[in-house]
Chains A and B, each alone.
Chain A
Amino acid sequence: GAGVSQSPSNKVTEKGKDVELRCDPISGHTALYWYRQSLGQGLEFLIYFQGNSAPDKSGLPSDRFSAERTGGSVSTLTIQRTQQEDSAVYLCASSSRPGGNQPQHFGDGTRLSIL
């Protein structure tokens, strides 16, 4: 597609369940980022991928969070044993190549609600 695609757009789940969020970046973009947008914390960086490797995962808030990227394209963010504080909008972004001056293009996000 023309832009970054995320699925699902909305996810409601019970506390303690595992969830998987998917990101399909712009074709040919080698760099991929996950961010979280929540009311109390604003926009926070979670993890960065270059190709299939994750040189920077320092933003993951706990070991319940993990992410992978396969084939240098699609990425999945997994949250295990969800807690209510995980409720947020999870945003994925991609850029054509690494480098701090490269603009990141964002998807519409997945709104995650933990009951």
Chain B
Amino acid sequence: GDSVTQMEGPVTLSEEAFLTINCTYTATGYPSLFWYVQYPGEGLQLLLKATKADDKGSNKGFEATYRKETTSFHLEKGSVQVSDSAVYFCALSEVWEETSGSRLTFGEGTQLTVNP
């Protein structure tokens, strides 16, 4: 079955440091890939997505590139801020056919803390 593996956390960085959170996946088809973020006390928010190989998703300074050859979707940001402190989830959904709904399969989540 489908699965998503994220780097183990928690991750603690100083403000303006470079961030990488690794994500690899296993899927039987050609999934879409997502990063969701959960700020303290809030629900999940979509951060970025990529729907096919070599696509790059980007938002709020975060980027991730869909790498089919390495089955990876690593999240990066060049300079983190204190306000980026949150839990980050990598997720995939299979695209069986356009008219089918598709469950999200999530990684374990990575807690990021950014210190001033």
The reply on B18 being an interface residue by CB < 8 A is no
Q: Are B104 and A99 in contact (CB under 8 A)?
A: no
The reply on A115 being an interface residue by CB < 8 A is no
Interface size on A, residues (CB 8 A): 27
Q: Are B99 and A42 in contact (CB under 8 A)?
A: no
- Distance (whole angstroms) from the CB of B27 to the closest CB of chain A: 10
Q: Are B104 and A45 in contact (CB under 8 A)?
A: yes
Within 8 A of B (CB), among A70-115: 91, 93, 95, 98-101, 103-109
Residues of B within 8 A of A35 (CB): 104
Known contacts A35-B104, A43-B89, A104-B104: A99-B43 contact under CB 8 Å: no
- Distance (whole angstroms) from the CB of B80 to the closest CB of chain A: 23
Q: Are A105 and B46 in contact (CB under 8 A)?
A: yes
Q: Are B101 and A55 in contact (CB under 8 A)?
A: yes
Q: Are B101 and A48 in contact (CB under 8 A)?
A: yes
Give the total number of A-B pairs whose CB atoms are below 8 A apart. Answer: 72
Q: Are A45 and B42 in contact (CB under 8 A)?
A: no
Q: Are A50 and B101 in contact (CB under 8 A)?
A: yes
Q: How large is the interface on B (under 10, 10 to 19, 20 to 34, 35 or more residues)?
A: 20 to 34
The reply on B53 being an interface residue by CB < 8 A is no
Residues of A within 8 A of B36 (CB): 106
Q: Hey, what's the 0/1 contact readout for B22-61 against A, CB within 8 Å counting as 1?
A: 0000000001101010000011111001010000000000
Q: Are B46 and A100 in contact (CB under 8 A)?
A: no
Q: Are B101 and A106 in contact (CB under 8 A)?
A: no
Q: Are B101 and A56 in contact (CB under 8 A)?
A: yes
Q: Are B51 and A101 in contact (CB under 8 A)?
A: yes
Residues of B within 8 A of A103 (CB): 34, 46, 49
Within 8 A of B (CB), among A1-59: 4, 31, 33, 35, 42-43, 45, 48-50, 55-56, 59
Task: List 12 A-B pairs, Cβ < 8 Å.
Answer: A33-B101, A42-B108, A43-B91, A43-B106, A48-B101, A48-B102, A93-B44, A95-B101, A98-B98, A98-B102, A106-B43, A108-B43
